[in-house]
Amino acid sequence: MSFNVAADAYDAFMGRYSKLLVGQMADLARLRAGDRAIDVGSGPGALTTELVRRLGADHVTAVDPSEPFVTAARERHPGVEVQVAGAEALPFPDATFDAALAQLVVHFMIDPVAGIREMARVTRPGGTVVACVWDFAGGRSPLSPFWDAVAAQEPGNAGESRYAGARQGHLVEIFRAAGLADVEEHVLEADNTHATFEDWWVPFAGGVGPAGAHAKALAPEARLALAESIRATLPPAPFTIRARAWAATGRVGSIP
């Protein structure tokens, strides 16, 4: 899935949460000085920033199918190779990197198993592949209050809970199907406090991702009704959204 929205809109909507995961993701990759890493589905580059901090710009590569995100990532990370590409067709030779990471992107891949298999292909034998997805199925994503309210108004609308990797254990299944070894599941935490309800709600109008697109497509009166129904479910401001993501790690045994 390509996000044809401005990078600033993503930053305001999901970037404020995704940046809370980057250190945890980099830790799971077991990066060492001199390693080369690729950020797959990098968006504007929240995880790229952390990889550059740990490895240096000349040891980091990033790809994303969204041209606006690639443009922003290039501007924000001088010296990093950033290309327009999807996870299922990475434009690099076998065993190019020591680690491949995909933060909050597996659920948007056209073919998640193929995407993870491709990440393994460009990672050297013994290298690490890491990915994470919000716990939509468990109701612990930053967007869960939104999708819960949508489901109350539209019974049968499962939101993003059925997406790949959005339930416990599913990323592990995908990693094993892609041929990775020593696959393990991990839990990542990303708690964020919002000063006002509007601080949490207004970025939905940017149309980012499935939730933003759903909110933006509503008629003004329906959007207001949805906002008020969500407000009623949240604590008085300031309030904290306690988000959780499922992550998986796997080792590349040999070139797939």
Supply the pLDDT for residue 100. Answer: 98
**Which amino acid makes up residue 148?**
D
pTM: 0.95
Supply the pLDDT for residue 254. Answer: 67
Distance CA 7, CA 42 (A): 11
Supply the pLDDT for residue 256. Answer: 47
Distances (CA, A) of 206 to 3, 10, 12, 229: 11, 8, 9, 20
Supply the pLDDT for residue 5. Answer: 76
Average pLDDT per run of 10 along the chain, which is 256 residues long? 75 94 98 97 97 98 96 97 97 98 97 98 98 97 96 90 96 98 98 96 92 94 95 96 98 76
Supply the pLDDT for residue 147. Answer: 97
